[in-house]
């Protein structure tokens, strides 16, 4: 079955994103996503499993003891993310991460020593008013990526959904490729 694109209006950032749908089975979508990554696409990974929702009251950046963090299953999942990307032959050009401990730890376990924090990918779950500005800045960064290799971003569900319209599970990646001046969802990867 041929892929069908539909345009989503994203009023928060004043831009649109094309989503690919109707590509057949989830396995076909995942195969297309890995192929796009091998060609230098972008993947937005939701941080690995961190039980709960949001962060505790009094959460402070830079103090992991005040945040919701990865559990043992999440740490194992983060390691599998990196293993899957390497096994698929994806050359990673850069790794960006939110400053939240669960995202930074996911990035470090998957890609040891490679991650650089980027505030545009910080969660705005508790600060919905920040969503438009963060999403616009994140889109600017993503649209500016030109390689070499794939760009890996470890961020949060709220950020990924604002950019793509997709609600990923923990540790799941949404793969984007450029189509003209926009981004297209090429598929999803579930290491």
Residues making up the chain, counted from first to last: 191
* Strand, helix or coil for residue 19: strand
Candidate ranges 26-30, 75-79, 178-182; pick with highest mean pLDDT: 75-79
The tens digit of pLDDT for each residue in 47-65 reads 999 998 888 889 999 999 9
The tens digit of pLDDT for each residue in 104-116 reads 999 999 999 999 9
Q: Taking 70 as the threshold, does the pLDDT of residue 10 lie above it?
A: no
The tens digit of pLDDT for each residue in 149-174 reads 999 999 999 999 999 999 999 999 99
Can you give the pLDDT at residue 1?
A: 32
Can you give the pLDDT at residue 98?
A: 98
- How far is 158 from 36, CA to CA, in rounded Å? 23
The tens digit of pLDDT for each residue in 24-36 reads 566 778 999 999 9
Domain map (residue ranges) of the chain? 4-50+64-189
Q: How many helices (H) and strands (E) does the chain have?
A: 5, 8
151, two tokens: 């760009």
* Strand, helix or coil for residue 51: coil
Can you give the pLDDT at residue 96?
A: 98
- How far is 112 from 79, CA to CA, in rounded Å? 10
In sign, the C-alpha dihedral spanning 85, 152, 166, 160 is positive
- Domain boundaries 4-50+64-189, corresponding CATH code: 3.40.50.1240
Give percent above pLDDT 70 in the chain. 86
């Amino acid at each position: 079955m041929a892929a069908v694109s539909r345009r989503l209006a994203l009023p928060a950032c004043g831009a649109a994103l094309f989503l690919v749908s109707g590509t057949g089975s989830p396995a076909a979508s995942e195969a297309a996503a890995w192929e796009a990554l091998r060609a230098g696409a972008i993947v937005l990974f939701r941080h690995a499993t961190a039980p709960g929702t949001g962060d505790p009251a009094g959460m402070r950046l830079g103090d992991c003891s005040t945040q919701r963090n990865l559990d043992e299953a999440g740490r194992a999942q983060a390691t599998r993310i990196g293993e899957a990307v390497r096994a698929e032959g994806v050359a990673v050009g850069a790794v960006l991460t939110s400053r939240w401990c669960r995202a930074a730890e996911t990035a470090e376990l998957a890609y040891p020593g490679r991650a650089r924090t980027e505030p545009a990918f910080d969660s705005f779950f508790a600060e919905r008013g920040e969503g438009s500005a963060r999403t616009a800045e994140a889109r600017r960064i993503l649209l500016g990526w030109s390689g070499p290799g794939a760009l890996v971003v470890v961020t949060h569900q709220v950020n990924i959904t604002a950019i793509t319209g997709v609600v990923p599970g923990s540790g799941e990646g949404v793969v984007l490729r450029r189509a003209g001046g926009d981004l297209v969802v090429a598929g999803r990867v579930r290491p």
